[in-house]
Amino acid sequence: MTITVVCDVLGEENNGTTIAAMNLIRSLKAKGHEVRVICPDEEKRGLPGYYVVRKINLGPLNNYVKKNGVALAKADKKVIYAAIHDADIVHLLVPFSLSKATAKLAKRLNKPLTAGFHCQAENFTNHIFLMNNRFVNRLTYKYFYRKVYRYVDCIHYPTEFIRDAFEEIVGKTKGCVISNGVSNEFQKREVKRPQEFKDKFVILSIGRLSKEKSQQVLIKAVDKSKYREQIQLIFAGAGPLYEKLVKLGSILPIKPIFKFFKRQELIKLINYADLYVHPAEIEIEAIACLEALSCGLVPVIANSPRSATRYFALTEKNLFACNDAKDLARRIDYWIEHPEEKKSLSQAYLSYKNKFDHDRCMDEMEKMLRRTAGAER
């Protein structure tokens, strides 16, 4: 098939949407499909199959968007038409400007259309300081539906959690639940721990440094821990709250490390870490957490009603009360004091990861695209 993938956000693989997009693109190409990609990533210009559009100019907000490590695509109808007019199917990633324009044109051309659900309302409303406003979040979902998802023949939901959340507001939709999957590269390995961490208890947290990811809760929890003198925090990621988190981290006796790690570095880091903490309040799936679990790293996860990640907890001891630093400190201390139980649970997580096998998930995505492309409209 000829498949056009529409990416309003695409660039360095430092966020969940870009990682999901590139994993899908690589998988479809490997299966022999012709894949066309519409995106704003100038580094892709001139590469076979890439249709590059300009970025949206947000004036004084450009620096803020850049701090988030993303660039937003500007709709260009000529480029969109060139990429989709003879495609067998079109797949959208997020319900922004480029995807909105593509959805309308695809319907006029009677093209089969699918769309991923990779953006929670709160991922948007947190930038206008209304993340906890239920009314505004509901309006945001209704806007997503009206501008994009009502045109779509099948919606790809990464989790049942986000499908339920969306359908509670807009009603029943045509869709299917398929995990974004975890790359087979993320496996348990024997790695040598760096000398500087030899006597430390290393706690890892992966994710964009932003309000909804709640990294400040982890820093405050370590400050309350009985073992604060021996805990090394490592935050693998970048984002707009970098400076604030570095400043907050200065309260700890061992300064946290903030760094964006390339994939092979990250796999090595996961394999020598002692504990994984996922404090995010807002999360559709959290592939980063699944990557850690796939290497057998035991997690402690925020029990947030607005996060699917809590369902990855195999025991109550893998959860802490959302935004409660004291409760998180209690969980951290427990796992430091019970290494044998942690070792046993690590084995359980190595089996658990099979549900999210990347190849199986990508096979399901291909089936969804084939099924939708072959359906009558």
The proportion of the chain whose per-residue pLDDT surpasses 70, expressed as a percent, equals 96
Sole residue written with tokens 């430390």: 200
Q: Which residue has the higher pLDDT, 37 or 73?
A: 37
Choose the weakest-confidence range: 104-108, 127-131, 225-229, 292-296.
127-131
What is the pTM for the complete model shown?
0.89
Question: Could you read off the pLDDT of 40-66 as tens digits, one per residue?
Answer: 999 999 999 999 999 987 765 566 666
How far apart, in whole angstroms, are the C-alpha atoms of residue 40 and residue 42? 6
Tokens read off for 329: 């400190």
- Residue 134 and residue 8 in one domain: yes
How far apart, in whole angstroms, are the C-alpha atoms of residue 215 and residue 125? 18
- Residue 207 and residue 163 in one domain: no
- Residue 73 and residue 97 in one domain: yes
- How many folded domains does the chain comprise? 2
SS3 at position 319: strand
pLDDT, average across residues 175-201: 94
What is the pairing mode between strands 299-303 and 275-278? parallel
How far apart, in whole angstroms, are the C-alpha atoms of residue 377 and residue 108? 12
- Residue 266 and residue 330 in one domain: yes
- Residue 138 and residue 209 in one domain: no
- Residue 19 and residue 164 in one domain: yes
Residue 64 domain flag? yes
Residue 151 domain flag? yes
Question: Could you read off the pLDDT of 161-187 as tens digits, one per residue?
Answer: 999 999 999 999 999 999 999 988 999
Residue type, 368: M
Q: Which residue has the higher pLDDT, 9 or 253?
A: 253
Do 246 and 209 contact (CB within 8 A), yes or no?
Answer: no
Secondary element (H or E) of residue 128: none
- Residue 18 and residue 39 in one domain: yes
216 contacts: CB under 8 Å, gap ≥ 6: 241, 244, 245, 248
- Residue 229 and residue 330 in one domain: yes
- Residue 209 and residue 160 in one domain: no
- Provide the pLDDT confidence category of residue 355 given band limits of 50, 70 and 90: confident
Residue 188 domain flag? no
The domain spanning residue 122 has which CATH number? 3.40.50.2000
Select from 40, 74, 51, 55 the least CA-distant residue to 4. Answer: 51
Question: Could you read off the pLDDT of 97-118 as tens digits, one per residue?
Answer: 999 999 999 999 999 999 999 9
What is the pairing mode between strands 201-206 and 113-116? unpaired
- Residue 57 and residue 177 in one domain: yes
- What is the per-residue pLDDT for 127? 78
Residue 267 domain flag? yes
- What is the per-residue pLDDT for 377? 55
Could you tell me the residue range of the domain that residue 369 belongs to? 2-181+357-374
- What is the per-residue pLDDT for 375? 75
Residue 186 domain flag? no
- What is the per-residue pLDDT for 68? 63
- Residue 30 and residue 162 in one domain: yes
Q: Which residue has the higher pLDDT, 197 or 15?
A: 197
How far apart, in whole angstroms, are the C-alpha atoms of residue 322 and residue 328? 9
Burial of residue 168 (CB within 10 Å: 0-12, 13-18, 19+) is exposed
Residue 189 domain flag? no
- Residue 57 and residue 204 in one domain: no
